[in-house]
């Protein structure tokens, strides 16, 4: 299959929610697009206009969505694939390349990835600087990996004294799993370890709740929550939570 040189595919991050956290680079790509492809609530964030076709789809069809975007670009369309936050953080950039690996005929397409502001970084900024030293990000969902892998990674991160950011902590279909994550943390961290529950960051519904590990309960998190776990040196100064950059 030959592909058209006039089409392109750009994968973008729409940021954590606030419109002023969408980068100018991303806004420019959306203004030029003929097609926007993505998960239903993310596509809904893009304003309809003449000449733009919106292609919303379910959250569990990432590879199908990626293949569709590649096909549209190969037809000469200007395609923007939207993710929330940053497209390279638990989002569509990886899915595009996974689909591309299976369809090498699309290798000559113009494919670009534009960064965005992740919920993790927006939440950290709202709290202060809890990710000021070494940190890691872990997706707690087991949709694409076994939950045993989640438990192992949380345990190893805690043993390494990393600050941590947890995405997708708790949903209606797996309410018990975040309780297990808290148990794993308690096996390796002191009860006073600080945990920030940041819900709906950068939106009018934003709410931050900072507690100790001893006080944390599973019900404090849902799928709109990013959970930030400090390291052993994370502390509070006034209303701000920060992790010092000095060596541990």
Domains within the chain, CATH numbers bracketed: 8-117 (3.40.1010.10), 120-242 (3.30.950.10)
What was the pLDDT predicted at 247? 63
Burial of 7 (0-12, 13-18, 19+ CB in 10 A): buried
**35, 6, 62, 157: CA torsion to nearest 10:** -110
Q: What is the structure's pLDDT at 248?
A: 61
Report the percent of the chain where pLDDT is more than 70: 97
What interhelical angle do 147-159 and 175-188 show, nearest 10? Answer: 30
Report the relative pairing of strands 163-167 and 78-83 from DSSP bridges: unpaired
| Helix %, strand %, coil % of the chain (to 5) | 35, 25, 40
User: Of the ranges 5-9, 47-51, 97-101, 192-196, which one carries the lowest mean pLDDT score?
Assistant: 5-9
Tell me the pTM. Answer: 0.90
Q: What is the pLDDT of residues 94-131, one digit of tens each?
A: 999 999 999 999 999 999 999 999 999 999 999 999 99
SS (H, E, C) 187-204: HHCCCCCEEEEEECCCCC
CA 168 – CA 157 distance, rounded (Å): 17
Angle at CA 168, nearest 5°, toward 208 and 160?
Answer: 85
């Amino acid at each position: 299959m030959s592909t058209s040189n006039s089409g392109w595919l750009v994968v973008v991050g729409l940021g954590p929610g606030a419109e002023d956290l969408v980068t100018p680079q991303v806004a420019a790509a959306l203004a030029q697009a003929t097609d926007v492809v993505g998960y239903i609530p993310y596509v809904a964030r893009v304003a309809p206009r003449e000449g733009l076709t919106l292609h919303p789809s379910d959250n569990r069809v990432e590879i199908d969505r990626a293949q569709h975007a590649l096909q549209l670009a190969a037809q000469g369309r200007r395609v923007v694939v939207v993710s929330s936050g940053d497209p390279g953080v638990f989002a569509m950039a990886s899915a595009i390349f996974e689909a591309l690996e299976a369809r090498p005929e699309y290798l000559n397409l113009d494919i670009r990835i534009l960064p965005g502001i992740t919920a993790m970084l927006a939440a950290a900024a709202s709290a202060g600087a809890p990710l000021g030293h070494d940190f890691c990000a872990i997706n707690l969902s087991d949709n694409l990996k076994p939950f045993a892998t989640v438990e192992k990674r949380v345990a190893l991160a805690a043993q390494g004294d990393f600050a941590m950011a947890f995405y997708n902590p708790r949903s209606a279909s797996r309410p018990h799993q975040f309780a297990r994550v808290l148990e794993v943390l308690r096996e390796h961290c002191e009860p006073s370890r600080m945990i920030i529950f940041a819900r709906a960051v950068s939106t009018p519904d934003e709410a931050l709740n900072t507690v100790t590990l001893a006080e944390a309960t599973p019900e404090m998190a849902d799928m709109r929550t990013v959970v930030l776990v400090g390291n052993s040196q994370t502390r509070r100064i006034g209303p701000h939570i920060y992790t010092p950059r000095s060596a541990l």
